[in-house]
Chains A and B, each alone.
Chain A
Amino acid sequence: MTASYLRRVKVAEVERVASRIKRFRLVDVENKPLSEFSGGSHVTVCMRAQDRVIRNPYSLMGCPSDTSSYQISVLKVDNSRGGSQFMHDNVVVGTELEISEPLNLFPPAKLARKHILVAGGIGITPFMSMMSELDALGSDFELHYGVRSAAEGAFCKLLEARYGSRIRLYLQDQDQMVPLERILSNQRLGAHMYVCGPKPMIDWALRTATLAGWPDESIHSEQFNAPPIGKPFVVKLARSRREITVGGHQSILEALEQNGIDAPFLCRGGACGQCETEVSGCDGFIEHNDHYLSEAEKASGRKIMICVSRISGDAVTLDL
């Protein structure tokens, strides 16, 4: 993906929807219609901070057929290396940003009889557009939404008003847990489960569904990957014979972009597979942070997803 795919938008509205979450409404700078998207899609938002460019994926929350504006919501992350902080502190009504075209790695299954949505915290965002779409289609769905407290949960009132008893809220500070095992038992054939939230919650939900005898094809998840930072290392590019230093707070992809090298990417979250790169040599170990490569591929050490994975060691040689 290159700059030509980017669309310039400006912020039309900012709203604080929970103690650490802000919602942004984006419109085309020339008020041209935006592309339609499908429920569960996200865009990559490109932010021009003082010293660097930050690109983070954010899920689209509005109605998929509404082309007048897009809505995203951003959680302010502690120890953020930039993106979410920038959105909270620097982005106001009128700020211009660039976004990619929508991409969907988390669509609802077309042939499902029922959709069981499980959200934790900011993981509610992809379900906002998904529910819009499912509701318009008259599909059967229910949302189980866990939040830390009433103050930290976004959109609770709005969701209950819009979808009534199809929404179940669970407040962590009142010891309410999503009773997933019970929810998943006695569902008729054709039910699909979707989960988005913190990694431990995703892992727990996937495990619970598998132990309930649900086939992999009926279980879906999206992880908002925020991989750990590390130590600086050198990337040697075999084809272009260049050497680039990747900072401890940078991904390989970001370091390449900073040095004017265009590498392919779509999701920037280790999910889509677009940035898969051949490793021709590694002076250290690859820290695989993606959920795209198979265990065998990870173990082989021949491939790396440069949007999220790094190495612990001195240098890695890539086929670029």
Chain B
Amino acid sequence: MTGEQLLQAYYFLKLNRALEEQLLKFYMQNKVVGGLYRSLGQEAISVGTAMALEPQDWVAPLIRNVGAFLVRGYRPRDLFTQYMAKATSPTAGRDCNTHFGDIQRGVVAPISMLGAMIPVMVGVGWGSRLQGLDRVGLTYIGDGGTSTGDFHEGLNLASVWKAPMVLVAEHNQFAYSTPTSKQMAITDLVDRAKAYAIPAEIVDGNDLMAVYAATRRALEHARSGRGPYFLECKTMRMRGHAEHDDARYVPAELLEEWRAKDPIDRFSQRLLEEFGFSQEQLSEQDQRVAKLIEEDAEFAERSPYPEGSRSQAQEGVFAS
């Protein structure tokens, strides 16, 4: 990564975290409609993978991939207004949280059904290649989501078709209350990919540079016509499934262990110690982040709710 990219990565990591801290404030003030899902401790995965994409590549972020939206040019206000169900949100209040997208930005809006995005992104990659387009489709899956039929069908299809698709598995140890040990009889998700003859590697998901470098390798592989690639990012879900869940079932020592591996702390430290950045340079980015969050939080608060006429609730199902 160039110096400029490193600084940019720092900015996005901090923006991702600050955005969620602001969302938490909104949540405590009862301004969030529905649940609040956090990516605390997993930010390096979304930011690192999305930064590795080329502009023509497409990404389908899931609920914990706020960072990928930011890298793709969405602003904090887009997530604030989505979570607050405002008329100014990207879906104009029709759908919630990260359920939005825009083909112009190469962002596919996810559905809740886990695994569903995998076959879809196989199709994005395959369909693009059929038309001579250089485009890789990248999406994410949780450890729990790897038990779905769509995960297995999608990977198998990607493999036999050699589709340019990259799947990033975020192994954050839990699927709601279910630890990986009760979800599957293997410890590493890469073993799933191996069954489909898909090259796979384990990555330290809390190391932004490692995530970025692995994603570059994965994309290069997919782009060169050799088929899909699978990354398993080891990480930890540092909050409950959503904020309403106190996650009592997570052993305190496990959280303690992973707190020491916080991806932002580690990255900042490397920037200062290994890459010669100054504290002022980082503080400058922090100020940019704070300013944008403040501005966008205000925008979201000021934004109206949809009026809510029946015709408004009804329209838009078909093109015409």
Do A and B truly interact? no
* A→B interface (CB under 8 Å): none
